[in-house]
Amino acid sequence: MGKQLRLWAGIPLAAIALTAPTAGTASAAIPVNKPMAGSMTYYTDAGHGACGTLIDASSETLVAVSHTWWTSANPKNDPLCRGVSVKVTYQGKTITVPVKDKCPSCDAGHMDLSQPAFGKLAPLGTGVINGITWQFVNADGKALGPAISGTAGSDRTGARSR
C-alpha cells in the first residue's frame, strides 16, 4: 500500500509540473537590443496606465506596448514597468518613450504611442504608420541587458481612444 500511495501522490505533482509552463499564451523572450519592424498608431486616453501610474496620452510622451510582451498577472509588477522604454524610428526621426501602458489589441510589432510622441514622428492625420523600427531600451535610451520574458499575440488599425 505504501508504494501505491507514493505513486498516486507523485502523479498530480508531475501533471502540474508539465502543465504549468505551458498554461496560457506561449512565452518568448523580448528581443532586447534588436531592432524590429512594425507599425504605430496613437491614443489620447487619460487615467491609470497598466503600470499603475497616472498618464495622459494626449499631453505626455509615452508608449503602450502590445499585451504580448507583458508577463505578470498584475501589470504593475511587470518588468516592463521598471525603467523600460521603446526607441522608435520612422523616416530618419527617432524618439525614446517610456513604457507606461499596455495595448490590448496590438500585435507584437505594433506600438500605440501617445499623441505627442506620435506627432514627433509623423503628422497625426496619417493614422496607422507602417515601416517603423523599434527596440526595447533602458529609460535613458541605452540598450537593455538580459532578455525579459514575454508572450506573442493580435492586431489593430488606426488612431484610437481606449
Per domain, the residue ranges of the chain are 25-151
Query: What is the value of pTM for the model shown?
Result: 0.70
Amino acid at site 49: G
- DSSP per position, 100-157: EEEETT--TTEEEEEHHHHHTTS-GGG-SEEEEEEEEEETTSPBPSS--EEE------
Average pLDDT value over all residues in the chain: 76
Architecture of domain 25-151: Beta Barrel (2.40)
Band the pLDDT of 95: cuts 50, 70, 90.
very high
pLDDT tens digit string along 107-143? 999 999 999 999 999 999 988 999 999 999 976 655 5
pLDDT tens digit string along 24-41? 232 345 667 778 999 999
Residue 55 CA to residue 90 CA, distance in Å, equals 24
Lowest mean pLDDT among 11-25, 33-47, 75-89: 11-25
pLDDT computed for residue 27 by the predictor = 33
pLDDT computed for residue 60 by the predictor = 97
